[in-house]
Structure 1
Amino acid sequence: MQIYILDDDQQVVAANRFLLNAMGYASRGWSDPEQFLAELDERTPAILLLDLAMPTLDGLAVQQALLKRHCAIAVILLTGHGDVPQAVVAMKQGAVDFLEKPVDARRLACALKQAQERVTLLTEQARVRQLFSQLSNREREVVNLVAEGLTNKAIAEQLCVAVRTVEVHRASAMNKLDVGNMAELLNHWRLSQG
């Protein structure tokens, strides 16, 4: 698993890289948030140890940029101040944990385990979003209406098309989404909404 560290203090980056190395993880560090965002490979699933308080672009702004890009990156926020209101915002934006500096190795190990689970979920969401991008507008409409619980007949009435047309679009969507049954279709639909 790729682990990134972003902190405006080079010594903190070095200390966390050393700690991660001792724990058996390879990592890469940045001290400039804009450089990090410019160099980031958005397709690579990763964990990011992210400083909350940075002068040019704070951790919440970096987290927001990652969310907009739909990156499969799990964020663990780091702070020297323990700012609870910002921690609440970060957690609502999907941060895995909020650790105070200097980082405790045991807490970091637990946070990394949670982050790996989050990365797995984010990676699956990205895969499903890619599959959904292949659907035509009509197929997407049909899937959304199926997810609302409508029958083929009700969908046909709502879209002013024949029931057979709905069946064709539904079958085509299921094929493109690589699902074999309704439960899988609904699960993919839920993931695509996340």
Structure 2
Amino acid sequence: MLHIVDDEEVIRDSLTWLAHSRGIASTAYESGAAFLQWLERGNGFDAAGECILLDVRMPGISGAALFDALTARRLTKRLPVIFLTGHGDVPMAVDTLKRGAFDFFEKPFNDNKLMDRVQEALLASQEAGAAAEVASRLDTLSVREREVLDLILAGKMNKVIADELGISMRTVEVHRAHIFDKMNVKTAVELARLLK
């Protein structure tokens, strides 16, 4: 999902059409406040990835202020921001990129280059979402399950794990089953791929 945040209706309409021409779903917001309201409703993230095309200069909450709010919430990995501006300068672009913006485009921009970057941002968001999901699953493991997990990933057999941890082989098997269940995998190979 592409989120277009710009106070100019003609720009929002143009970007919506451009996204649609590439098969990218989009939603437009006339202000930073409108986007924050959407975010506050907690609609969840699109598994296919999300990014924001954000105008720098808008009345009310500026693009820079909205970006600061997203950065403070640690959302810029899951919601990469591509700035759009008709008033950009090199120091502003450098500053936003240093603070974690995905890219910076000056109006008028090349439509194809912009949409190529949007697609790259959506992929980055998708990967960040997948990594967050894996981290969330890892957080559900107990301390002992984490110890068993580390030894599984080291390629050790159940008997060796039991010896190293001073527990029975049956207990290792139970922990292994719980780990596979919580991580949503069926084999140690799948587990290794998931955590590479």
TM-fit CA distance, 1:75: 3.1
TM-score with structure 1 length normalisation?
Answer: 0.68
Q: SS at 2:65's partner residue?
A: coil
Unaligned runs of 5+ in 2: none
Decide whether aligned partners of structure 1 residues 103 and 141 sit closer, same or farther in structure 2, where only a CA change above 3 A counts.
farther
Q: Which residue of 1 aligns with 2:99?
A: 89
Q: Deviations over 1:67-93 (max 9, x none)?
A: 38xx843432335234214313315xx
Contact in 2 for aligned 1:5/1:48 (Cα 8 Å): yes
Tell me the CA shift for residue 111 of structure 1.
0.7
Of the three residues 54, 58, 65, the one matched with 1:50 is 54
Structure 2 residue 185 is matched with structure 1 residue 189: no
Counterpart position of 2:167: 161
Show the counterpart of 1:5: 4
1:65 counterpart = 2:73: yes
CA contact (8 A) 1:52 1:58 kept: no
CA distance in 1, matches of 2:81, 2:151: 34
The percentage of aligned residue pairs carrying the same residue is 28
Contact in 2 for aligned 1:60/1:90 (Cα 8 Å):
no
Look up the match of 1:15.
11
Contact map agreement 1:42 1:72 (CA 8 A) in 2: no
| 4+ residue segments displaced more than 6 Å | none
Q: Report which stretch shifted further, 165-174 or 127-136.
A: 127-136
Aligned length: 179
Letter in 1 for 2:96: Q
One-letter code of the match for 1:118? Answer: A
For the aligned residue pairs, the C-alpha RMSD in angstroms reads: 3.4
